[in-house]
Chains A and B, each alone.
Chain A
Amino acid sequence: MEKIINLPDRSGHFGIYGGKYVPETLMPLLSELEGAYKEAKRDPEFKRELSYYLKNYVGRPSPLYFAKRLTDYLGGAKIYLKREDLNHTGAHKINNTIGQALLSRRMGKRRVIAETGAGQHGVATATACALLGLECVVYMGEEDIKRQAMNVFRMKTLGAEVIPVRQGSCTLKDAINEAIRDWVTNVRTTYYLIGSVVGPHPYPMMIRDFQSIIGIETKRQILKIEGRLPDYIIACVGGGSNSMGIFYPFRNDNVKFIGVEAGGLGLETGKHSATLSAGEVGILHGAMSYLLQTEDGQITPTHSIAPGLDYPGVGPEHSYYKDKNLAIYTTVTDDEALEAFYLLSRIEGLIPALESAHAVSYAIKLAPKLSRDEIIVVNLSGRGDKDLDIVFKKRDESH
């Protein structure tokens, strides 16, 4: 597998992907943000504060756990789980929100806005804002608000204001549109805290960097336990932040990356969120990337049982990885993810997030085909408590 040098380039592109496709009003702010981030990255005080919170507040490093019973059950490669589910707020999202909230405070912007689909990024943003004493406004589609009442309450408990979005399809992409409209209007006072490796430059780079802590730790841990690097790393891809976070530090190593997208009810049904597997190149939310869209370039509605994967776009760096064959992108259906959800719960006592269950499902398919001395690392990006409601209802339907 061909590996890569440092991207994005100076203008924020990963090959043809990425860039800054935003209204002019935001362009000066993106340059300001880029400058502030570069400066913060070089500042030992910023680094010290970030690692302080990651250690003492988030609970890092998260363990790399050898799933012995799952490995024995499958009878093939050794499976390790990177336990992002053990982070405060239950997923990898917090790695990014603390980083960006610190940056926001540093830039003197006391008002933070964010979008959220299922509410996970909203909760992680509300948490980071409460921690740092910042005002927090979260845009959430009206449909999602109905489906995720507990997360709405969680955000409100943390002191955030949740604004229902009634435009378009009333889901995540519309919440992003509305957050961008707020940002355009309040650009001088407001920091837009994006939740995945999407959006205009420098967001995909910055969020990748904040999430790279996952891969950096994994590398150190696997070398300590096994004395060598893994053969495969498997992670789910919605926007793609947990996958990019674990892949990136291994980009120059001989490790195969597998990104698992949401196959929903099956690619042939059109009801899925498999942007890289079934999309076409286009421009949305500030970047060029693969998109789920019509012939006319209108964005299409998506579906996944995993709310965090339910998005018609994907991070531009993943689009680059796909074209350059730096990672393999595949899909897992709702039903397969659900099977993995139950299997991991019963065999390891770990209830995975439905997003992470997609990655687990692919590992279940792959491991038996490999020899016992091969190693797979699966990024267990979040815990499944948040999804019990969805799974419970699904069980009702099938009975």
Chain B
Amino acid sequence: MSHIRAVFKTLKRKGRRALIPFITAGDPDLETTKQLIFSIEKSGGDILELGVPFSDPLADGPTIQASSQRALKNGVNLEKILALVEEIRPKVKMPIVLMSYYNPLFRFGLERLADYSREIGVDGFIIPDLPVEEGDNWLRIAKSRGIDTIFLVAPTTSSSRAYKIARKSTGFIYYVSLTGVTGARERLPEGLIESLTRLRKITKKPIAVGFGISSPEHIKMLTPYADGLIVGSAIVRLIERAKDLEDACTKVSRFVSSLADAL
């Protein structure tokens, strides 16, 4: 069983959901990212989603776009992010999932990436512009190295398609809560609970929900219907507004704790 699945299983036994915080690697620099990862784990994060910045993040809203730009400005790339994971891996228990658009991964070399990931302990990948139809090559490479590939299901996905995606997805299934881009929102979209209930009937694999989830109230409303809750932009926004590294860690810790308490 993969590290990710093991975490879901352990949590389930305790009757808990997985909190999956997202931050962009290298925003604003890799030292901050390192300290934030420690803070997130200490405050109750169960799985870390670490964003690989890309020049053209077309599934992301303004908050994560801006964080990618900040990271790229400082010369962050996949190689440096993997080196960071290697460095912190012995000190961090959470599974680490990289979120990346396909092109930086493709350029790095898929086999090289998968070999490297296994060696240093990257547990999985979320690739928002790689639908199942195009994913077979990567999936084969990742599977043979024991690395999970988390595919996404959206509100526009039909049941038969969701079934196909669920079968291919490993680790967990990422349910996109709304038709739109990432970004913190005041309210949860209408029909979300019904959609999660429908998806639940299709698959036994863990379902994590993301996009727009930005407060302890949202988490409370969704815990009965999902196995994992992904919070990104709301955290990235705190980092953007922080005065310095220490301030960023304090704010993010406090926020992640409040989310964990709501689980």
Contacts and interface: CB of A to CB of B under 8 A. Distances in A.
Interface of A: 11, 19-29, 167-168, 173-174, 176-177, 180-181, 184-188, 280-286, 291, 293, 295-299
Point out which of A173, A188, A283 has the most chain B C-beta atoms below 10 A from its C-beta.
A283
Contact of B56 (A29, A186, A188, A284): A284
Ordered nearest first, which 8 A-B pairs have the shortest CB separation?
A297-B107, A297-B104, A25-B154, A296-B77, A185-B180, A298-B55, A24-B154, A24-B152
A168 B69 contact: yes
A39 B2 CA distance: 45
Nearest to B211: A25
28 contacts: A21-B130, A22-B129, A23-B58, A24-B131, A24-B151, A24-B152, A24-B154, A24-B176, A27-B157, A27-B161, A28-B161, A167-B65, A177-B57, A184-B179, A281-B106, A284-B103, A285-B56, A296-B77, A296-B78, A296-B107, A296-B108, A297-B54, A297-B78, A297-B106, A297-B107, A298-B72, A298-B104, A299-B103
A23 B154 contact: yes
A239 B56 CA distance: 17
B158 interface: yes
A6 B180 CA distance: 35
A19 B131 CA distance: 10
A188 B131 CA distance: 19
Contacts of B157: 24-25, 27-28
A23 B104 contact: no
B102 A180 contact: no
Given A24-B176, A27-B154, A283-B106, 7 more contacts: A19-B133, A21-B129, A23-B131, A23-B176, A25-B157, A184-B180, A187-B156
Contacts of B176: 23-25
B154 A168 contact: no
A24 B133 contact: no
A20 B131 contact: yes
A11 B103 contact: no
Contact of B106 (A180, A186, A282, A286): A282
A177 B104 contact: no
B30 interface: no
A23 B62 CA distance: 17
Contacts of A281: 106
Interface string B22-36: 000000000000000
Given A24-B152, A25-B155, A296-B78, A280 B180 contact: no
A314 B153 CA distance: 29
Nearest to B59: A23
Contacts of B58: 23, 176-177, 180-181, 184, 285
Contacts of B101: 283
Interface string B151-170: 11111111001000100000
Given A28-B156, A296-B77, A298-B72, A21 B102 contact: yes
B107 A280 contact: yes
B146 interface: no
